[in-house]
Chains A and B, each alone.
Chain A
């Protein structure tokens, strides 16, 4: 892995784009010997954030682009997701009540809860009518410094 290794991807606001995007993210991380747990967490964040944006972020039926950038440094994976959907900070979504019995649990709210729990830091800003979301995932300190 070279320090500051970055991949820049984009998807349209179409759920059918997600599997291919996931495969590319997974391949990028596997080639750089990122631990399986971190790969899972990054892929889950991509899935949940983009699904949420695609399903709820747009008031029109027009095509929109969502940018997904992933940068690896020795101690973290930085996922930056940028879109022109309506303003939304995932950190403000209500937390699900996990104490309720399963039969009484509401169906929604789990995706963003998972993302908040599995990332080490989340930063959101609204910039030029765009959502810019940064999610950081800590890497173990003994990551090898060369490609596999």
Chain B
């Protein structure tokens, strides 16, 4: 599941639950469209997420590619998910 809000000049998406293949297919169109239309930095808050599959990595890549210079940052990422991003070479997207 995902909700979006404006905060401190960024568009923040709050995800929850398991971001598996099916869930990502369901949400990625809307997330990508909102992120691209926003024209501002995008934040993915994963505080409520306990599992991501490669489909979510692809969603992040897709958003970053169309961001037109605006950064994508992931926050509140649990250790196992941080490890997944690191293995995929995408740990630069994860806030320290």
Contact = CB atoms under 8 A, between A and B. Distances in A.
Interface of A: 15-16, 18-19, 22, 36-37, 40, 43-44, 47-48, 51, 96, 98-99, 102-103, 105, 107-108, 110-111, 113-114, 117-118
Given A103-B64, A105-B61, A111 B87 contact: no
B61 A19 contact: no
How many chain B residues sit at the interface, stated as a range, is: 20 to 34
Given A22-B20, A102-B92, A113-B87, A51 B80 contact: no
A44 B89 contact: no
B54 A102 contact: no
Contacts of B57: 110
Contacts, number: 63
Given A114-B84, A118-B87, A48 B22 contact: no
A99 B57 CA distance: 16
A108 B80 CA distance: 21
A100 B68 CA distance: 18
A19 B20 contact: yes
* 10 nearest A-B residue pairs (beta carbon): A98-B89, A111-B54, A110-B54, A117-B87, A47-B53, A40-B80, A51-B21, A107-B58, A110-B88, A110-B57
Contacts of B54: 48, 110-111, 114
A107 B54 CA distance: 10
Interface in B45-68: 51, 53-55, 57-58, 61-62, 64-65
B61 A107 contact: yes
A40 B80 CA distance: 8
Given A22-B20, A36-B80, A51-B21, A108 B64 contact: no
B53 A15 contact: no
A40 B51 contact: yes
